[in-house]
Structure 1
């Protein structure tokens, strides 16, 4: 047996063990890595405001704290406003539920010539087996819901802390990264960082503008229908549909439909139709054009990047796909040499013939 064979076998086994260990560690830390990625993009989003306040003489840590405090106050105020409105509407719906049920039963009896009564239906529901099983499953699922809520709060806290440190120690972090690179690479890293800040800010600007347009459009519809709390509902639709990827549209449209149902059941149908029509207008006309201008990428590339990001990272990928692709495109644009396209006489003659 050759001398090198035992060493080669040991080396291969060691490399395989290291690969398995690295793969296991990556799968265990993938949630943390995703949180850090979200925090990094949030830090890039608030970087312009923090830098502007720091340039006026304020300490960077205090400036970052004030920016995050303002975002937190606005978020809590929005949640409190929507929570109070939703609680009042739920109480009103519960009080008026017997009227809705009597109206529905009356329509069924008139249409199908039946003899149903609300008391009989309530009695059969209360003594049904599936309702008892549902109550038991709901009681056992309270712990799961509590664990999910606590996990979500811990995730938000982790993202908030990392994004605060990234924003507050941005210059120090850039110096630490550049200190291990040669001068030529340092310029490239700093340029990529500046591009990422600009593109992420442009993306959030486009999202904020689309949220404003969506809020105004839905506000007009809700006011015409006479739905109560129209300003709060319009603000809900604008923010949720733009800043919660994938399921944000459905969450945004469900609440106005619910409130409109308390006024008139047909109003809920009207709101649903408008939400669907507006969503198609936004997806195929407004969003591609606006995003391509603010982030400077082609609408098809923006649409494809969202699909690819969703396939790779889910909702998180859909949220950060466009600024990431825009940053990569702008950074690589400096290293791609473009040439003039030679005119094809045949193509030129065909174009002139079609225009004439």
Structure 2
């Protein structure tokens, strides 16, 4: 029999808790769980922290790169500082003397090149009418025209593009000044960090080891020694390539009769090796400019030689030298430079080889190596097809015996 309203009301009166549960069940089902607000707040906090960390990393990328450069610079000069400190000199004073020697050498080098470049620019400006006359005469003789140097100069001086160029150059003076000041500030930042890393090297190592267990301390110290050795080998390889490059370019410039050939050779060697990415172009531009003042065709010969030598250095000379000095395979050396350039630009190209060599040497201690089987294929040779099974069996028995 179907329940009636009277029976339902009587059941509700007899069991009030069941009636209250049935009336509250729709409300409790629609109510938000207690953990959901906390989860939403936690998710928003995590997103905010991630965005804040990303923003901070973007803002500090330049500083982190400067610190990385300073660290490898400190590793490069640490052997010299250690030698002077072993003789009783304070590390701070020894580091200061090393940086002073670097500063004096760099200032003297650029002062000499600056005076040389100024003389050549003055010579080029004075001889510019002669160059223009030669070009105009060649055009008139070749194409049977009647051009005049005075008309060309007058049209150039009164042209709209020259006036707009001068105006834009004057407007960009502040931008250039800001870039120069920014470069000086970055140089000062790198120098200060490198000084502290080199002068307080033992203290820094003690600070790192104090928060690590003894087994980890040994690994950190070994990694530090490997980094110093590999960075020193990298600097040595760069110096050797700078010497080879300088000698090669000196022979060319001396053969062409370009003035200041020794200074230009030193310029090409140092700039092309220690300034990544654009160093080759900066190094080759100055000899081309000075060669142009002697004979315009000489500048073309210098350009061709620079391009050919750069390919020879990139694909043959540099991989072989770094394989010996840094103990890294030529293919790994070449690939690390490409990868470093893709990741960090010029900074990555500069520190790619020592960083890769350090990582390779450090991880090599944890790789277990086995004896290689005595197989002809291991040595790059193949078995002769005419060899009989009996001969192979005799060879196997001889190896076992």
The bucket for the TM-score relative to the shorter chain is over 0.9
Structure 1 position 299 matched with structure 2 position 330: yes
Give the corresponding residue for 2:245.
214
Deviation at 1:350, TM superposition (A): 6.1
Which of 266, 270, 274 is 1:243 aligned to? 274
Larger RCO, structures 1/2 (Cα 8 Å, 6+ apart): 1
Structure 1 position 189 matched with structure 2 position 220: yes
Which structure 2 residues correspond to residues 3-82 of structure 1 after superposition, within 5 A? 3-82=34-113
8 Å contact 2:74–2:197 — kept in the other structure? Answer: yes
Pair 342,59 (structure 1): closer, same or farther in 2 beyond 3 Å: same
Give the corresponding residue for 1:319.
350
Pair 194,346 (structure 1): closer, same or farther in 2 beyond 3 Å: closer
Query: Take 1:160 and 1:311, find their aligned partners in 2: how far apart are those partners?
Result: 25
Structure 1 position 263 matched with structure 2 position 294: yes
Structure 1 position 277 matched with structure 2 position 312: no
Deviation at 1:7, TM superposition (A): 1.7
Query: Take 2:158 and 2:218, find their aligned partners in 1: how far apart are those partners?
Result: 74
Structure 1 position 142 matched with structure 2 position 173: yes
Deviation at 1:85, TM superposition (A): 0.2
Deviation at 1:285, TM superposition (A): 1.1
Deviation at 1:346, TM superposition (A): 8.0
Pair 346,225 (structure 1): closer, same or farther in 2 beyond 3 Å: closer
Give the corresponding residue for 2:231.
200
Query: Take 1:313 and 1:347, find their aligned partners in 2: how far apart are those partners?
Result: 38
Query: Take 2:123 and 2:90, find their aligned partners in 1: how far apart are those partners?
Result: 50
Structure 2: give runs of 5+ residues left out of the alignment. 1-31, 388-401
Deviation at 1:14, TM superposition (A): 1.0
8 Å contact 2:376–2:382 — kept in the other structure? Answer: no
- Tell me, what secondary structure is at the counterpart of 1:351? coil
Pair 40,348 (structure 1): closer, same or farther in 2 beyond 3 Å: closer
Query: Take 1:349 and 1:229, find their aligned partners in 2: how far apart are those partners?
Result: 51
Give the corresponding residue for 1:160.
191
Deviation at 1:30, TM superposition (A): 0.4
Give the corresponding residue for 1:93.
124
CA RMSD of aligned residues (A): 1.6
Query: Take 1:131 and 1:246, find their aligned partners in 2: how far apart are those partners?
Result: 31
TM-score scaled by structure 2?
0.86
TM-score scaled by structure 1?
0.97
Deviation at 1:174, TM superposition (A): 0.6
8 Å contact 2:376–2:383 — kept in the other structure? Answer: no
Pair 51,246 (structure 1): closer, same or farther in 2 beyond 3 Å: same
Structure 1 position 133 matched with structure 2 position 164: yes
Pair 299,350 (structure 1): closer, same or farther in 2 beyond 3 Å: closer
* Larger Cα-atom Rg: 2
Deviation at 1:265, TM superposition (A): 1.4
Query: Take 1:345 and 1:221, find their aligned partners in 2: how far apart are those partners?
Result: 47
Deviation at 1:349, TM superposition (A): 11
Deviation at 1:348, TM superposition (A): 8.6
What number of residue pairs does the alignment pair up?
A: 355
Pair 86,183 (structure 1): closer, same or farther in 2 beyond 3 Å: same
- Tell me, what secondary structure is at the counterpart of 2:370? coil
- Tell me, what secondary structure is at the counterpart of 2:384? helix
